[in-house]
Structure 1
């Protein structure tokens, strides 16, 4: 296939893909998470397919005597089929049983993709010998060729659609996760439609029927891919943007660490009995650090609950909770006797560590003011209010 998109647009998109790919290889190639590697493989193969679809590349390879234009066109589709392999594995990896089956499934999927590509080139020999686009060639070879493409495209669409519907029906998703699965659902539905319509078009071309539909599908195939690649590259580039934010320390985890630090330092100093690592890892990532800080703050609040008094009547909200924690901290530091446990920081949703960190960050905004507040001076006569 040869791209019909305007050359400036196509090359701008391919340039963006190349930059995103290089940065992923430099920054994310060492990631332990297999999903990151699969996204990189998908972007690499998708970009290669896009390059092979450009007329300048096809003519250039032919002029150098390396590949004929017909073979390069078919290679672009073969590489696109290979692109479906990491996308399939990425969808499969969302299963809870993935870790136990990863090695066996990965090898099978990649071997099947390479075998499909070789078979497509063999079947495509007939069209190349006639110097025809296989999309328009009559004969049994055309539907067989596109059966491989449609099979991979359809399998990817089924996996994406099934997974997204399953997660959306399960519910209890954060808004960003709900949007992600809705996007995956749309892409999966599109892949299913493409797989079906392209195969139907190949049958029509092979039998010399439905010429109008064949031409419509042919033009759509020529024009659509580069824009779909742009969308995929933007998704892949989001990982690069996140990594850049982490390196610049402006990512959410780094901001949370900065927000929690003043209260965290005061609490761990007041509660040396809470368990902490003997030799903290100074190279710990921001995500792990905010997780650790949240757990240690929570442990300290459990200890201080034995020294807590109710929130002052004239204070409410997160500022009042900050004052309540400071009062409990100062009672403990002053040597007051512990009393009946009173839960501190009661407004935290507590669904997971992320919710905990967000709730605590709201209190830390009032921490310095709470330390200076006259109401933060506790009663030290041993009597507990309430």
Structure 2
């Protein structure tokens, strides 16, 4: 094996890409961008395997010529991803254009191999070899530049989340490393200096590029695995709110929205729906709340966010739910009393409901 990379490293990267790619094909493949990313992984595996078959690390080796074509093929998908993420095109249009890009990349690969064989001799120091190398390097650079441009745009956006910024920086760094390797390899091909194989840098840079990109592409897979295991934040919050939601909606069943299998599988959607239904039930039960005692009023005014104030409200809310379920009339004829938990955004409201759900079992046991 003539690879400049130790075999254990090469096969470890191939195994890593295979595992992540298999997981993505199984769990993450619905959207167009996910399908494009999955194809990046498949062509990366093909490229690394072809590199392992090369007998010499020079461009006159047929395996290296095929590998160069596969690198070009891999980066065409990055071009499409960059256009899609950058909102330059619609998903269906991007997918159709990608088919044309694949045909062009395949044609270029065939031309590389045929031209090398037609020359009848080593092309690593010939003008035709330099021309092919420059053409492939320009195409690869352009394809990776498109997604790099999208990443730079995301970094300039102040609303881009921190996790997305880390992904963008990783993509930009790996692309820049690949560009540097292409420039140095072409320089060595043209000048013959330093003496030695011309593709060692390209293979090493591409292997590192694949490892970095695979790690970034694994993030949605890990998130999906966490979601399916019920360990994501939204699902855990739903479980904490479930006893509160179950008791309140049992008292006011008409506020429960019809189930929608298409959206209820999303934890964030379930959490939003559960929060809205709890809040609606609390509003409906406002008219059934028993009057506050003097001590409760003093605690609510003095410590509106304390456990004592929340517990007092929980006791009253439980009695209101029991009264409505029993068919009793509202406690008063006026407007429902205001709720003690006033929030101006979803996160603050959710925090209030989590506090209420935390003491709900103890309050329910105390009321009986």
Q: TM-score, normalised by structure 1?
A: 0.74
Q: CA 1:150–1:113 in 2, change beyond 3 Å: closer, same or farther? A: farther
2:75–2:140 CA contact under 8 A, matched in 1? yes
1:232-381 aligned within 5 A = 232-277=213-258, 281=261, 284-287=264-267, 288-304=269-285, 312-313=300-301, 315-317=303-305, 319=307, 320-321=309-310, 323-324=312-313, 327-328=316-317, 330-331=319-320, 333-334=322-323, 335-337=330-332, 339=335, 342-347=338-343, 349-350=345-346, 357=350, 360-372=353-365
Match of 2:72 among 81, 95, 104: 81
* Superposed CA RMSD: 3.8
Name the CA distance, whole Å, in 2 between partners of 1:272 and 1:22. Answer: 44
1:268–1:300 CA contact under 8 A, matched in 2? yes
Q: CA 1:341–1:77 in 2, change beyond 3 Å: closer, same or farther? A: farther
1:52–1:72 CA contact under 8 A, matched in 2? yes
1:157–1:192 CA contact under 8 A, matched in 2? no
Residue 43 of structure 2 is matched in structure 1 by 45
Name the CA distance, whole Å, in 1 between partners of 2:82 and 2:306. Answer: 41
**1:263 aligned counterpart, secondary structure:** helix
Q: Size of the alignment, in residue pairs? A: 348
Name the CA distance, whole Å, in 2 between partners of 1:258 and 1:139. Answer: 67
- 1:23-80 deviations in Å (ceiling 9; x for gaps): 2223334x3x2222222111111111111111xx346xxxxxxxx9822211112112
Name the CA distance, whole Å, in 2 between partners of 1:2 and 1:299. Answer: 69
Q: CA 1:219–1:262 in 2, change beyond 3 Å: closer, same or farther? A: same
1:45–1:79 CA contact under 8 A, matched in 2? yes
Name the CA distance, whole Å, in 2 between partners of 1:74 and 1:293. Answer: 57
Residue 148 of structure 1 is matched in structure 2 by 136
**1:249 aligned counterpart, secondary structure:** coil
1:14 deviates by: 0.9
Name the CA distance, whole Å, in 1 between partners of 2:261 and 2:8. Answer: 49
Name the CA distance, whole Å, in 1 between partners of 2:151 and 2:262. Answer: 38
1:17–1:43 CA contact under 8 A, matched in 2? yes
1:261 deviates by: 0.5
Whether 1:179 aligns to 2:175 is no
Q: TM-score, normalised by structure 2?
A: 0.77
- 1:308-353 deviations in Å (ceiling 9; x for gaps): 77772464537344653553453465332353563553356426xx
1:53–1:76 CA contact under 8 A, matched in 2? yes
**2:271 aligned counterpart, secondary structure:** helix
Name the CA distance, whole Å, in 2 between partners of 1:239 and 1:182. Answer: 14
